[in-house]
């Protein structure tokens, strides 16, 4: 039970109870639906990009506490990041959850560090990364739609 | 008249070595039996003894080991015949499990018979393994899949079943006991109604055979399937029971060795039942283990097991209902030993992780029954499922564990 507090930290429980940027977005520049078929987690990510910078990102859906908190914290971390910075942040976050040693190119995670406890629960890593994968899909989807114009 | 001896769960627990281990420093409370049950010493030893003393390929060699292996494999089949009370042992086909058995019937029985517009009738509470094989065969033939709805308690709507059963229906395939809801379906009535229309019935007994006595002759079902690993046997072994006349009329599902009488490049003569459907070297040790598992279950008695599990179910239902914010999904009048539930404000995944930290193993997710989850408007449930070795103390541990989950999220 004690180790569990590393996973379910107060910050995480708070984001789960009161998720930030938990809303649909009118006319997003990017959108993707994320689905974890094994556990039924479903997340929609909405994205507004101006001049290569994430101006707004929000989410909607249903998931476990780890999934919801991670999505909520992600929306805060991504704001005003360039696409490259956002991608680098995802990769660093992913390393933190899945690998013992940081990579040399990893960027500081800031408040996302609180999710590092998920590493001890390998089956839950997919819960913590669902929002991020969906964000990347939303980013790509936007680029795809631009390229078809 | 003396009553039956009281059910000795303490003695039964000693048969299962794994129940002695601890998980995260706590005694293991294993309540994920509907996913897969644990193995008694009798099964582990039977498989070990077979590998150490009698292992060989079957139905081939003139040497002693091959004869012993063949005998051990066929003894497993006799045990399965006895479990289901099939009329003869060649109506019992070994497969890799219930899923493979259903696919066999879909491809070998249904596919050659189906035409565009024909209908297969299943229910809303099926496991994916009793949905997808029919969707595949419908795609192949132009047949249509029809689905019997369920009510809020998790029971089949039998009026709708009768209406959906019509002159286009070619097969009814229904789960005997629901893995997501615990509902025991009125399979006698289902078979009777279907047969009145001349429609054969497949029953998916994966969750039924460990928990209640099954008699395929009394049921008069046409096909019955189950998996070994849910009845204390190994994985990778299961059974397709089929009525002899139906199995005889079906073409082989897979070609290969053991399913033939003679092969030449001009043509091949298929083997007799059940070997016609057992191409390739089968899971020999699996059949041995399944036989030992069935013998074990029968030595205790399925009536005694059912009574023990029903009492656990009753007690667990009562205790779980005391918990504020807990909702049981599936409250059929006739249920077998499992409870699906959800908590206000706590996702089943979080319930699963927090219970695991207390040594309590339950299943969380959609239980391979996504249409059921959709029907009750939940993304997933937590599920505690009981076996012959579970105790009231374990139910108490579950209840205590759930209270800790709620405490954490308050």
Looking at the predicted structure, is the pLDDT value of residue B70 above 50? Answer: yes
- CA A137 – CA A80 distance, rounded (Å): 18
Percent of chain B whose predicted confidence (pLDDT) is above 70: 99
Among residues B252, B274, B298, the one where a domain terminates is B298
How far, in Å, CA of A75 to CA of A46, rounded?
10
Same domain, B21 and B123: no
pLDDT one-digit tens code per residue, A45-71: 999 999 999 999 999 998 999 999 999
Instruction: Clarify whether residues B332 and B216 are in a common domain.
Output: no
B24: closest chain A residue by CA: A1
Residue B404 and residue B325 share a domain: yes
- B257 & B224 share domain: yes
B373 closest CB neighbour out of A13, A40, A66: A40
Closest chain A residue to the Cα of B26, Cα to Cα: A1
What is the pLDDT, as a whole number, of residue A102?
Answer: 86
3-state secondary structure of B369: coil
Residue A8 and residue B404: Cβ atoms within 8 Å? no
Beta-carbon pairs below 8 A across chains A and B: 55
CATH of the domain at B402: 3.90.1150.10
User: What pLDDT does B100 receive?
Assistant: 98
Q: What residues in chain B have their Cβ under 8 A from chain A's Cβ atoms?
A: 345-350, 353-354, 357-358, 364-366, 370, 373, 379-380, 404, 408-409
Under the banding of pLDDT at 50, 70 and 90, the label for residue A147 is very low
Q: In the beta sheet, which residues pair with residue A32?
A: A45
Residues B293 and B309 in one domain: no
Q: What is the pLDDT of residues B352-405, one digit of tens each?
A: 999 999 999 999 988 888 899 999 999 899 999 999 999 999 999 999 999 999
Based on the fold, state whether residues B54 and B33 are members of the same structural domain.
no
Q: Are residues B182 and B166 in the same domain?
A: yes
What pLDDT shows up at residue B4? 61
Give residues with Cβ within 8 angstroms of B279, minimum separation 6.
Answer: B252, B253, B254, B255, B256, B257, B258, B259
pLDDT at residue A149 is higher than 60: no
**Lowest pLDDT segment from B60-64, B69-73, B324-328:** B60-64
Number of domains in chain B: 2
B368 is catalytic: yes
Q: Provide CB contacts within 8 A for B121, sequence distance 6+.
A: B146, B147, B148, B161, B164, B165, B169, B171, B172, B173, B199
Q: What is the pLDDT of residue A146?
A: 41
- Asked whether the beta carbons of residue B379 and residue A40 sit closer than 8 angstroms, the reply is yes
Task: Please report, for chain A, the start and end positions of each structural domain, with discontinuous segments joined by +.
Answer: 4-147
- Tell whether B135 and B75 lie within a shared domain: yes
Based on the domain organization, do B345 and B308 belong to the same domain?
yes
- Calculate the CA B100 to chain-centre distance: 12
Segment B27-56, tens digit of pLDDT: 999 999 999 999 999 999 999 999 999 999
Q: How many Cα atoms occupy the beta-carbon half-sphere of B179 within 13 Å?
A: 31
Phi, psi (rounded to 5 degrees) for B306: -60, -40
Model confidence band, residue B266 (pLDDT cutoffs 50, 70, 90):
confident
For residue B163, the enclosing domain spans 44-298
Chain A residues closer than 8 Å to B358 by CB: 1
Query: B22, B28 in Cβ contact below 8 A?
Result: yes
- How close is the nearest chain A Cα to the Cα of B256, in Å? 35
Decide the pairing of beta strands A41-50 and A53-62.
antiparallel
Dist. CA B9–CA B25, nearest whole Å: 23
Could you tell me if B283 and B149 lie in one domain?
yes
Contact A65 B350 (CB under 8 A): yes
B134 and B163 both lie in a single domain: yes
Q: Does residue B122 lie within any of the structural domains?
A: yes
Tell me the C-alpha to C-alpha distance, in Å, between residue B222 and each of A21, B306, B360, B375.
56, 25, 39, 29
Banded model confidence at residue B188, pLDDT cuts 50, 70, 90 = very high
For domain A4-147, give the CATH number.
3.90.1010.10
Do residue A62 and residue B379 have CB atoms under 8 angstroms apart?
yes
Q: Which residues, including other chains, have CB under 8 Å from residue B302's CB and lie 6 or more apart?
A: B211, B212, B213
Q: Is residue B1 part of a domain?
A: no
pLDDT bin (cut points 50, 70, 90) of residue B2 is very low
The SS3 assignment for B296 reads helix
CATH of the domain at B189: 3.40.640.10
ipTM of model:
0.86
Which chain A residues have a beta carbon less than 8 Å from that of B409?
13, 16, 65
């Amino acid at each position: 039970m004690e180790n569990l507090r590393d996973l379910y930290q107060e910050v995480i429980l708070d984001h789960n109870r009161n998720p930030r940027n938990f809303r649909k977005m009118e006319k997003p520049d990017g959108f993707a639906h994320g689905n974890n078929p094994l556990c039924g987690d479903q997340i929609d990510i909405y994205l507004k990009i101006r001049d290569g910078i994430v101006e707004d990102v929000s989410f909607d859906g249903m998931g476990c506490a780890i999934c919801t908190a991670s999505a909520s914290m992600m929306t805060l971390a991504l704001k005003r990041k360039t696409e490259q910075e956002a991608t680098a942040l995802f990769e660093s976050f992913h390393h933190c959850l899945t690998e013992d040693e940081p990579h040399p190119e990893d960027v500081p995670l800031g408040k996302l560090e609180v999710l590092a406890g998920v590493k001890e629960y390998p089956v839950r890593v997919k819960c913590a990364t669902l929002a991020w994968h969906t964000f990347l899909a939303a980013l790509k989807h936007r680029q795809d739609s631009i390229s078809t114009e | 008249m003396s009553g039956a001896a009281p059910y000795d769960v303490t003695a039964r627990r000693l048969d299962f070595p794994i129940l002695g281990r601890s998980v995260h420093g706590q005694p293991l409370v294993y309540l994920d039996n509907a996913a897969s049950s644990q193995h008694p010493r009798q099964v582990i030893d039977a498989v070990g003894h077979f590998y150490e003393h009698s292992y060989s390929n079957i139905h081939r060699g003139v040497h002693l080991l091959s004869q012993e292996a063949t005998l051990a494999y066929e003894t497993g089949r006799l045990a399965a015949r006895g479990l289901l009370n099939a009329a003869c042992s060649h109506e019992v086909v070994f497969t890799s499990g219930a899923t493979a058995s259903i696919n066999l019937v879909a491809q070998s029985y249904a596919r050659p018979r189906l035409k565009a517009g024909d209908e297969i009738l299943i229910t809303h509470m099926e496991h994916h393994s009793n949905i997808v094989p029919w969707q595949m065969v419908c795609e192949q033939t132009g047949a249509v899949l029809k689905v019997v709805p369920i009510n809020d308690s998790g029971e089949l709507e039998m009026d709708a079943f009768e209406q959906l059963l019509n002159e286009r229906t070619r097969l009814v395939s229904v789960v005997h006991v629901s893995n997501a809801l615990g509902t025991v379906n009125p399979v006698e009535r289902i078979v009777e109604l279907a047969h009145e229309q001349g429609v054969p019935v497949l029953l998916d007994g994966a969750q039924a055979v460990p928990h209640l006595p099954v008699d395929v002759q009394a049921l008069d079902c046409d096909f019955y399937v189950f998996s070994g690993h849910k009845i204390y046997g190994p994985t990778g072994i299961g059974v397709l029971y089929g009525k002899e006349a139906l199995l005889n009329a079906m073409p082989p599902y897979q070609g290969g060795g053991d399913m033939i009488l003679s092969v030449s490049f001009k043509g091949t003569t298929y083997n007799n039942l059940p070997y016609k459907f057992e191409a390739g070297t089968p899971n020999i040790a699996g059949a041995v283990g399944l036989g030992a598992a069935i013998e074990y279950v029968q030595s205790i008695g399925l009536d005694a097991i059912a009574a023990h599990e029903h009492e656990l179910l009753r007690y667990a239902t009562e205790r779980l209902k005391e918990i504020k914010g807990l909702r049981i999904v599936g409250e059929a009048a006739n249920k077998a030993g499992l409870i699906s539930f959800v908590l206000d404000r706590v996702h089943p995944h979080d319930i699963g992780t927090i219970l695991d930290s207390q040594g309590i193993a339950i299943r969380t997710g959609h239980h391979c029954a996504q249409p059921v989850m959709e029907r009750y408007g939940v993304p997933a449930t937590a599920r505690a499922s009981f076996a012959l070795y579970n105790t009231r103390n374990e139910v108490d541990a579950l209840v205590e564990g759930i209270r800790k989950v709620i405490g954490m999220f308050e």
